[in-house]
Amino acid sequence: MEIVLVGLNHRTAPVEVREKVSFTADQARRAADELRSRGILDETLVLSTCNRSEVYGVPPETSHNCLSGLASFLSEFHSVGPDILTSSSITITIATLSSICSGCPPGSTPCF
Integer CA distances (angstroms), 40 to 4, 18, 66, 76, in order: 11, 23, 6, 14
111 annotated active-site: no
Region for residue 107 given its phi and psi (left: phi exceeds 0; alpha: psi -120 to 50; beta: otherwise)? left
Residues serving a catalytic function are 50
